[in-house]
Amino acid sequence: MELKWLEDFLSLAAHRSFSRAAEMRSVTQPAFSRRIRSLEIWLGAELFNRTSYPVTLTQEGRAFRETAEEAVRLLYQSKASLQGLGSGQLPQASFALTALHTLSTTFVPRWLTGLRAEIGPVGSRVLPENFALCLQALAEGGYDFFLTFHHPSVPLPLDPQRFPHARVGADQLVAVAEAGQLAAWRAAAGPLPMLHYSRGSFLGLLTSVAQSLPGAPATQVVHVNENSIAEAMRSMVLEGHGVAWLPEALISADLASGRLERVAPALPMEIRLYRNAERARPIVEKVWSVASRDSRGYAETA
User: What is the per-residue pLDDT for 172?
Assistant: 96
177: pLDDT strictly greater than 60:
yes
User: What is the per-residue pLDDT for 256?
Assistant: 95
User: What is the per-residue pLDDT for 206?
Assistant: 92
Could you confirm whether domain 171-268 is CATH 3.30.365.10?
no
User: What is the per-residue pLDDT for 140?
Assistant: 75
Q: Nearest to residue 271, comparing CAs of 200, 166, 138, 118?
A: 166
Maximum Cα interatomic distance, the chain, rounded to a whole number of Å: 73
Query: Which helix (H) or strand (E) segment is 95 a member of?
Result: strand 94-100
CATH number of 3-83: 1.10.10.10
170: Cβ contacts below 8 Å, ≥ 6 apart: 268, 269, 270, 271, 298
Other Cβ atoms closer than 10 A to 83: 8
Q: Domain 94-170+270-301 belongs to what topology?
A: D-Maltodextrin-Binding Protein; domain 2 (3.40.190)
144: pLDDT strictly greater than 70:
yes
Give me the helix-helix angle, 230-238 and 248-257, nearest 10°. Answer: 20
Mean pLDDT to the nearest integer, 155-165: 90
Mean pLDDT to the nearest integer, 164-176: 95
CA 104 to CA 98: how far, in whole Å?
A: 9
Q: Nearest to residue 107, comparing CAs of 193, 26, 171, 24?
A: 171
91: pLDDT strictly greater than 50:
no
User: What is the per-residue pLDDT for 98?
Assistant: 78
CA 97 to CA 292: how far, in whole Å?
A: 16
What tens digit of pLDDT does each residue of 243-296 get?
999 999 999 999 999 999 999 999 999 999 999 888 888 888 999 999 999 888
CA 86 to CA 104: how far, in whole Å?
A: 35
Q: Compute the Cα dihedral for 141, 161, 133, 248 and give only its sign.
A: negative
User: What is the per-residue pLDDT for 123?
Assistant: 82
Q: Where are the domains of the chain?
A: 3-83, 94-170+270-301, 171-268
Which whole-number Å values give the CA distances from 174 to 209, 217, 225, 257, 262, in the listed order? 12, 12, 17, 16, 7
The runs of H, that is alpha helices, within 148-219 are: 179-188, 202-211
Using an 8 Å Cβ cutoff, are 119 and 146 in contact?
Answer: no
* Chain CA centroid to CA 220, Å: 30
Q: Kindly report whether the peptide bond that precedes residue 268 is cis, defined as omega within 30 degrees of 0.
A: no
What tens digit of pLDDT does each residue of 61-78 get?
988 888 888 888 778 767
- Predicted model pTM: 0.74
Over the chain, what is the mean pLDDT? 86
What tens digit of pLDDT does each residue of 93-137 get?
568 787 788 999 999 999 999 999 998 888 888 888 888 888 888
Percent of the chain whose pLDDT exceeds 90: 36
Q: Bigger pLDDT: 177 or 180?
A: 177
CA 194 to CA 137: how far, in whole Å?
A: 32
CA 161 to CA 276: how far, in whole Å?
A: 9
User: What is the per-residue pLDDT for 274?
Assistant: 95
Q: Do domains 94-170+270-301 and 171-268 have the same CATH topology?
A: yes
Other Cβ atoms closer than 10 A to 255: 16
User: What is the per-residue pLDDT for 80?
Assistant: 62
90: pLDDT strictly greater than 60:
no
